[in-house]
Chains A and B, each alone.
Chain A
Amino acid sequence: MKKIEAFIRHEAFEPIRAELLDKGFPSLSIIEAKGSGRQKGIVERYRGSTLTVNVRPKVKLEIVVEDKDKAIVIETILKHARTGEVGDGKIFVIPVEEAIRIRTGEGGEPVLQLHEESELPT
């Protein structure tokens, strides 16, 4: 199992989410993050004084998948998050030891897969 963490632009999130859903990966989380990198901060002007905000807002996307699916997710993120400008973000891949579904208590890689049609609430 791998956890894929991607720091992306806000506007990249929606196309990534839509395509991952199409490809069978509905489970993911996002966190509003602030960070610094090669991209410069924002200068705010306020009643004659200035304030440099050195960290910019980004979205942190987190998704845990089976090893075999890692490439699909990364490919999707690269496809939509890349503008070619400084500030597109980064992707980190981290090994995950365990995954447990809280509702049933079951564990292991099957919890990362899509539900069967029959399992879904009507």
Chain B
Amino acid sequence: MKKRLLIAGPVAAVASLVLPGLAFGAEAVPILDTPEASINAMWVIVAGVLVMFMQAGFLLLEVGFSRAKNAGAGVAKILVNFSIASLCYWAVGFALAFGGLGSIAGDHGFFLNVGSSIEEAGKSIPFVETYSISPAAFMFFQFVFCAVSLAIVWGATLERIKFSAYIIYAVIFSSVLYPVLSHWIFGGGWLQVNVGMQDFAGSTVVHLIGATGAFAALLLLGPRIGKYTKDGKPRAIPGHSMPLVGLGVLILWLGWFGFNPGSTLGAIGGRFAEVVVVTNLAAAAGVVAAVAVMYLLSKTIDIGMAGNGAIAGLVAITAPSGYVEYWAAPIIGAVAGVIVVFGVIAIEKVIDDPVGATSAHGLAGIWGTLACGIFTSPRLAEFNEVGDPGLWYSGSFHQLGAQAEGVAVAFGCVFVVSFGIFYILKKTIGIRVSPEEEDAGLDISEHGMYGYPEQFIPQPEYSTGLYTGGGGTPTPVAAPAVSPMTTTEP
């Protein structure tokens, strides 16, 4: 019975496009009530799946920026963290984030136990009704955001953090920390309603929060062995694969076409297509700016920095993507591309961040959030019903102030909580592997296997004897060896 209902949804959605008058008669489709809701659910699930694929982007980016001895560790990390977040966000996180319009947190919808019709679910999850969208689609889309934010935390901690630190922080982050903060800014909480902070898809909620967690972890974790010379100068510890980094960046870029445009939470009216263009313009400007600045500084076209430029442009446009016109997008992206280059170089002098997450997600996230206060257009502020037009249009610093308040609150809260968690972990179970384990690489010391075995295990070690051609009993070698001593002695 259940199966038939699940199939009925999409079929009805297609039918409704062809025969709008006939599709929805007296017999209500149980899950998706209206054609509008069906189309919205379809788009939001597609977008959510694209955002889920960003996990692959983070994986490849981080693995590429690691040395070969730590390549496998990134795989286990992404899979386990994504899975922990899947369970925790479903059980607890979603209810805190969207289960009601309280100013601090929601309290309905634990385990997504809200019924499947929009009318029924709307009583616990008000946004389901506001956006006319299936609760499952809405919850899945919000969950993959949480998973992205969590993935950002760990990029900065590569090559030296203990696996157990991931697990404990991931549970707290995806159950409580991220949900409460996202409620404040996305879910009808005080920053959104009372302050009027604009953050369309999460420059602050997703990216700054993730980067702030990373920053707190880095302060307690310390740099990788060999990152700084005796006189304190940073040394490059090159990652082992720039092709993997490039693939990771492009997958993230692709995923962002779900991230920002999906945050329209619906396809009706075609706003999401405009957001796609805005997003792409900013990413492109980020790459061009980062490459140009890096060329002026070092006379090389820096491969890693081109990737960081793309990510910075994308992070920065995340908050304004639903609020700004096309012309503003390249400006926002280009500024982010400049910020990330100087950010990476400056931060690297004191903190070892192997992937540049604190710059690309943190600094660019702050810039993107503030950019709403400058570039938000009157038509889109009204369309989204949050906040006011930016400085450029209104000449008023009011919205910029609201944005700055939101950034400060989000950074402050997440930093204090994350620092507390990592501090307790450091004092109890420890958050860092031993120097010997770090030297050997996390692959063999934490996971018991190599990411690239052939690089570390000499080929003869695999062999059990001479190849004798085919199966069966090995035949003796044709000419029996004579002891050399007997033949060479005169």
Residues in chain A within 8 A of chain B (CB atoms): 44-51, 98, 100, 102-108
Q: Is B446 an interface residue (CB 8 A)?
A: no
Minimum CB–CB distance for B377 against chain A, Å = 35
Inter-chain pairs besides A44-B238, A48-B294, 13 sampled, C-beta below 8 Å? A44-B236, A45-B298, A45-B300, A46-B302, A46-B304, A47-B236, A47-B304, A47-B344, A48-B297, A48-B305, A49-B345, A51-B235, A102-B481
With A and B bound together, what is the CA distance between A32 and B482 in angstroms?
33
Which residues of B sit under 8 angstroms from A98, Cβ to Cβ?
488
| Interface of chain B residues 328 through 345 with chain A (CB within 8 A) | 341, 344-345
B291-305 Cβ-contact flags toward A at 8 Å (1 or 0)? 000100110101011
Among A48, A51, A107, the residue within 8 A (CB) of B298 is A48
Whether B302 and A45, one on each chain, are in contact in the complex, defined by CB atoms closer than 8 angstroms, is yes
Residue of A nearest to B297 (CB): A48
A28 to chain B, nearest CB (A): 21
Q: Is the CB of A105 within 8 A of B483?
A: yes
User: Residues of B contacting A103 with CB < 8 Å?
Assistant: 477, 479, 481
Give the residue name and chain of the A residue nearest to B481 (CB): A105
B308 within 8 A of A: yes
Decide yes or no: A47 and B300 within 8 Å by CB, A100-B488, A103-B479 being known contacts: no
Number of interface residues of B (CB under 8 A): 26
On B, residues with C-beta under 8 Å from A are 234-238, 294, 297-298, 300, 302, 304-305, 308, 341, 344-345, 348, 356, 477, 479, 481-484, 487-488
Q: How far is the CB of A109 from chain B (nearest CB, A)?
A: 11
Report if A46-B483 is in contact (Cβ < 8 Å); known contacts: A100-B488, A107-B488, A108-B488. Answer: no
Question: Distance in Å from the Cβ of B175 to the closest Cβ of chain A?
Answer: 34
Q: 19 A-B Cβ contacts within 8 A?
A: A45-B298, A45-B302, A46-B236, A46-B238, A46-B302, A46-B304, A47-B236, A47-B305, A47-B348, A48-B341, A48-B348, A51-B238, A102-B481, A103-B477, A103-B479, A105-B484, A105-B487, A107-B488, A108-B488
CA distance A49 to B235 in the complex (A): 6
The residue on B at minimum CB distance from A105 is B482
Decide if B302 touches A100 in the complex (CB within 8 Å): no
- Complex Cα distance, B304 from A121, in Å, reads 52
Known contacts A100-B484, A107-B484, A108-B488; A49/B236 CB under 8 A: yes
Q: Which of A44, A45, A106, A107 has the most CB of B within 10 A?
A: A45
- Would you call A45 and B236 a contact (CB within 8 A)? yes
Q: Considering the complex of A and B, which 4 residue pairs feature the smallest CB-CB distances, nearest first?
A: A107-B488, A46-B236, A105-B482, A51-B236
Cβ-defined contact, B344 with A48, below 8 A: yes
Q: Are A106 and B487 in contact (CB under 8 A)?
A: yes
A42 to nearest B CB, angstroms? 12
Which A residues are CB-close (under 8 A) to B237? 51
- The one of A47, A104, A105 in contact with B356, judged by C-beta atoms closer than 8 angstroms, is A47
Query: Contacts of A105 on B, CB cut-off 8 Å?
Result: 481-484, 487
B304 surroundings in chain A (CB, below 8 A): 46-47
Q: What chain B residues lie within 8 Å of A49 (beta carbons)?
A: 234-236, 345, 348
Shortest CB-to-CB span from B240 to chain A, Å, is 12
In the bound complex, what is the Cα–Cα distance between A99 and B288 (angstroms)? 62
Shortest distance from the beta carbon of B294 to any chain A beta carbon, whole Å: 7
Chain B contacts for A100, CB-based, 8 A: 484, 487-488
Give the distance in Å from the alpha carbon of A51 to the alpha carbon of B298 in the complex.
13
Give the distance to chain A from B194, nearest Cβ to Cβ, in Å: 41
> In whole angstroms, how far apart are the Cα atoms of A106 and B344 in the complex?
64
Measured in the bound complex, the distance between the Cα atoms of B236 and A105 in whole Å is 51
User: Which A residues are CB-close (under 8 A) to B481?
Assistant: 102-105
- Closest residue of chain A to B239 (Cβ to Cβ) is A46
Inter-chain contacts of B234 with A (CB < 8 A):
49
What residues on B are CB-neighbors of A50 within 8 Å?
Answer: 235-236
B484 CB contacts on chain A under 8 angstroms: 100, 105, 107
